Amino acid sequence: MKILSERYEQYDIPQQLMAAGIYPYFRAIKSGQDSEVTINGKGVLMFGSNSYLGLSNHPKIKEAAIKAIEKYGTSCSGSRFLNGTLDIHLELEEKLAKLVGKDEAICFSTGFQANLGTISALCGRNEYLLLDSQDHASIIEGSRLSLAKILKFAHNDMASLESKLMLCEPDKNKLIVVDGIFSMEGDIVNLPEIVRLKEKYNASLMVDDAHAIGVIGQNGRGTSSHFNLTQDVDLIMGTFSKSLASIGGFIAGDKEVINFLKHNARALIFSASMPPASVASVSAAIDIMLNEPERMKHLWDLTKYAHQAFISAGIDTGKSETPIIPLYVRDDMKVLKLARILLDEGIFVNPVISPAVSKDDAMIRFSLMATHTYEQLDVAVEKIIRAFKELDVAPRFQRIE
Ligand code: PMP
């Protein structure tokens, strides 16, 4: 047997889960990412998507993508730095900077790369990165590449952040990086308090708005807009793979910082640029987001309705206040079983188990889209509550803190 195959043949957890019929990953969807999708020839209600505004299959966006392919082809065949910059990349960057209220923006080919490239370029040896313990994996990976000293503070805990800031040498560069809406927990970062601490300790602040754009802030402008603190946040990062119906990511900030990143972020320089169809899709999605505020309103009406329904059934939704609703189960095996039962019942939800979260935080991640109907939501909530009872999931308030 080959050396690598021999080394990894022992890794058979996925095969064990498949044999038990509870393997939940890489499920093939045979339709667009709508509120109902097709899996195994069957209609399934989608409550596991990040398409918060429900735009991924929108006719105007598809039309924009098709037109871009017709004009520019399917690939830029190179990096933004060299042959891969189109006029539509520059137009999109201008639109994004204006959207989030910053001087300039630069697009990366994924949100992951935006975090990786930005954080690793901006912080170096003998400098500090202060990260929320629940920050996204791409922030962690970017931090590792940076060689800076990483100080993690307890999730959204401002006393913990301050205690870490106090450990930093005062005259050294310090960058605080947080998610705006946390991707699994669904809570919103305590931005006003972070801004106060950032000023007190002379630090800089970057907010990852992957899950906040299209969800909070004026017309979906994100966390800084939500708190009216745009001028106090140095860098705003966003992805296009969630509300904006495409793929790619951006970072926006002062023109001096963006200029530096354009010439130093390796994930930008050494990777091919966003393809034309993706660029055009984002631009069309932003127009819809700005011109159809009723989508965000419906998303929030559904959100309040769903929170109420889960909480009154005794399901533990933690500190979520957004369309991302964690349904805490706190048991990996039960989470996998629930995901399977629910799929069989025609409900798609995301199982989140260790090591993605600690064992005590294993959950079903339930997420809403602006295109869901109340009828669809009622069906899902009813089936979820029944499945939780069937598997005897400990209700809210029984958790020992
Ligand atoms: N940041 C956060 C908070 C995310 O949740 C994600 C994706 N799940 C990313 C960054 C990476 O974005 P992308 O999927 O566009 O690479």
108-133 confidence digits (pLDDT tens): 999 999 999 999 999 999 999 999 99
* pLDDT value of residue 359: 85
pLDDT tens digit string along 228-249? 999 999 999 999 999 999 999 9
Pocket of ligand 1, beta carbon within 6 A: 110-112, 115, 136, 138, 179, 183, 208, 210-211, 239, 241, 249
Q: What is the pLDDT of residue 401?
A: 41
Q: Is residue 135 part of a domain?
A: yes
Same domain, 71 and 193: yes
Angle between helices 276-291 and 59-72 (to 10 degrees): 150
Q: Which atom of ligand 1 is found nearest the CA of 50? A: 8
Q: Confirm whether 178 is domain-assigned.
A: yes
Q: Are residues 98 and 23 in the same domain?
A: no
The pLDDT of residue 400 is above 50: no
Lowest mean pLDDT among 295-299, 352-356, 373-377: 352-356
| pLDDT per residue as tens digits for the range 99-108 | 999 999 999 9
* Same-domain pairing of 63 and 123: yes
Distance 243 CA to ligand 1 centre (A): 12
pLDDT (tens digit per residue) in 293-312? 999 999 999 999 999 999 99
Structural contact between residues 111 and 249, judged by C-beta atoms closer than 8 angstroms: yes
Domain boundary among 233, 268, 291: 291
Q: What average pLDDT score do residues 386-394 get?
A: 91
Number of domains in the chain: 2
DSSP SS3 for 212: coil
Query: In terms of domains, do 117 and 191 share one?
Result: yes
Domain that holds residue 238: 59-291
183 is catalytic: yes
Give Cβ neighbours of residue 138 (< 8 Å, ≥ 6 apart): 111, 112, 113, 114, 115, 116
What number does the ligand 1 atom closest to the CA of 248 have? 15
Residue 325 CB partners (closer than 8 Å, separation 6+): 186, 303, 306, 307, 310, 317, 365, 366, 367, 368
Average pLDDT, the chain: 96
Catalytic residue among 58, 149, 242, 307: 242
Q: Confirm whether 52 is domain-assigned.
A: no
| Same domain, yes or no: 199 and 70 | yes
197: domain CATH number is: 3.40.640.10
Nearest atom, ligand 1, residue 113 CA: 16
Q: How far is the CA of 389 from the centre of ligand 1 (A)?
A: 33
Is residue 111 in a domain? yes
pLDDT of amino acid 358: 86
Domain stops at, among 291, 312, 328: 291
Measured CA to CA, the distance from residue 59 to residue 284 in angstroms comes to 10
pLDDT in tens, 360-371: 999 999 999 999
Question: Does one domain contain both 39 and 87?
Answer: no
Residue 53 lies in a domain: no
Asked if 126 and 250 sit in the same domain, the reply is yes
Residue 307 lies in a domain: yes
Confidence of residue 397 (pLDDT cuts 50, 70, 90): low
Give yes or no: 242 in active site. yes
Q: Is 35 a catalytic residue?
A: no
Residue type, 264: N
CATH of the domain at 389: 3.90.1150.10
Whether residue 54 lies inside any domain: the answer is no
